[in-house]
Amino acid sequence: MRKTEYTLLVVLFLFILVINVLIINAAYTNVFDLLKHISPPSPPLVTITNIFSVILGSLVLFTCIVIIMEKRDPGTTLAWLLILIFLPLLGFFVYLLLGRQFHKRRLTVKKQKISHYLCPFNAPADEGSLQQLAETAEAKERLIQLICNSTEYPITLNNEVTVLTDGRQIFPAIIEALQSATKYIYLETYILRNDEIGSKISQLLIDKAQKGVTVRVIFDGIGSRSLGKNYLRKMRAVGIRIEPFLPVRVPFFHNRINYRNHRKILIIDGTVSFVGGINIGDEYLGRDPNIGYWRDTHLRIAGDTIHYLQNIFIQDWFFVTKEQLPTGSPPSVTSGSQLPGNKPVQIAASGPDTHWESIMQVYYYAIATAQKSIYLTSPYFVPNESILTALKTAALSGVDIKVLLPANPDYRIVFYAAMSYLEELMEAGIEIYFYQNGFMHAKILIIDGLVSSVGSANMDRRSFSLNFEVNALIYDKEIARRLEADFINDLKFSERLTMETLTEQPLHHRVLESGARLLSPLL
């Protein structure tokens, strides 16, 4: 680094320190001004305040240096620096709660060791199967190879895939599969509730455990934080092992509030699996009067892909409990085995423990290489610059792009952040729709009527880098047509956003959108 660059860095850090000390002192001065009519502050108190201001300013400066040296995304770095400079006290504690990266690095190393220990290798996709698939999947061979290289999960050709559109289809299929279990049940979910459907699932698991079926359940420590001890006690009493993923004992003072397990996986006897976007709770059946109908999508998969979904569960289970479950041998990737179907499926898993942001890379490359159409559904839409650029570039090249978002969001700040991106997308020719018939929670991407992604990952920064996620990629025109039919039907219950609607928004909405966008790297 040249001398001038060192000088600029020193000036920047001194500026941050001075600004923080001035802001902190100004805050205390205002407090003293309010209190002096009652009791003037003593000189020792003023001295202590000045010392505290310098100490806190120094801590904030050190934190800024740490953030810069972590080499994060520039937008994320800038957002944290702005918060720390102008809200030093609040920003410092928020950073301690949500922003620290060293815990992510320790978690990454720990979980990677577990993955290599339990599943030291995965069967590579052989050249014959890739060539056979490439002929079917036209120009998508490089996308397939990308997922192979970034997730280490090969494509499997022998699968039966059923698309389940909402809770009224998903839960009966799950219950039927649970009732058929004879060996083991592995369940992993973000939200597990002690309500009507949650109790029904619990009782089914209890009944199966009493008949000798091995039952293992992972629920997220934040997503299922309201799950009562009595619910857990009943299940554990019959031998079910049900454990939280990274439980948070004191939510506002614990860095584990990030790195949530957002995956939804169900494996039954190694023959039937489920993956998608739905959790376990009554609201997913439309029973919450404040939400109404809940629109979601899940997949029922039978075939070779189950082995890789099961490996993900086994790794997560070992991470949580240190209990090693049998992994089994990888299936053949050729088309010769006699299994239920012939759908090509590939699993993409990502999280703080993966070297690559696999799902984000899949989304980016699939969008960037689209030739005809892109249909995207996501309840939360906070794209990074790569995804944003890929969408705009694809639209400007003539690709038909439709994006479907919920009209009634459950998190307002995320909604305002999403709104801040829509005008530039529409200027590029992208059609934006808001779903009006309840809440849209499905996470779907359909490319060129050929490649489909269904899973737990939202189109946002949190799913890309902070949460543990899993998606299924299906290379099949029939499945793509089925998902497209659902998408077109959803548009009947949606309202298209127009430029007139955007420009007529009140000023305070535009201010909120701009503010939320500044914070979008942290959402």
Give catalytic residues, as residue numbers.
262, 264, 269, 441, 443, 448
Measured CA to CA in angstroms, residue 180 lies from 195, 204, 272, 276, 402 at distances of 23, 11, 10, 21, 40
Q: How far apart are CA 284 and CA 382, in angstroms?
A: 23
Cβ 485 vs Cβ 472: under 8 Å: no
Instruction: Name the residue with tokens 């934190």.
Output: 63
Cβ 297 vs Cβ 452: under 8 Å: no
Tokens of 228: 């009562």
CA nearest 60: which of 104, 94, 9? 94
Cβ 453 vs Cβ 311: under 8 Å: no
Residue type, 94: V
Q: How far apart are CA 110 and CA 119, in angstroms?
A: 14
Angle of CA points 158, 159, 163, to nearest 5°? 160
Q: List Cβ neighbours of 53 (8 Å cut-off, separation of 6 or more).
A: 21, 24, 25, 28
Q: How far apart are CA 444 and CA 303, in angstroms?
A: 22
Q: How far apart are CA 47 and CA 58, in angstroms?
A: 17
Length in residues, the chain: 523
Q: How far apart are CA 462 and CA 520, in angstroms?
A: 10
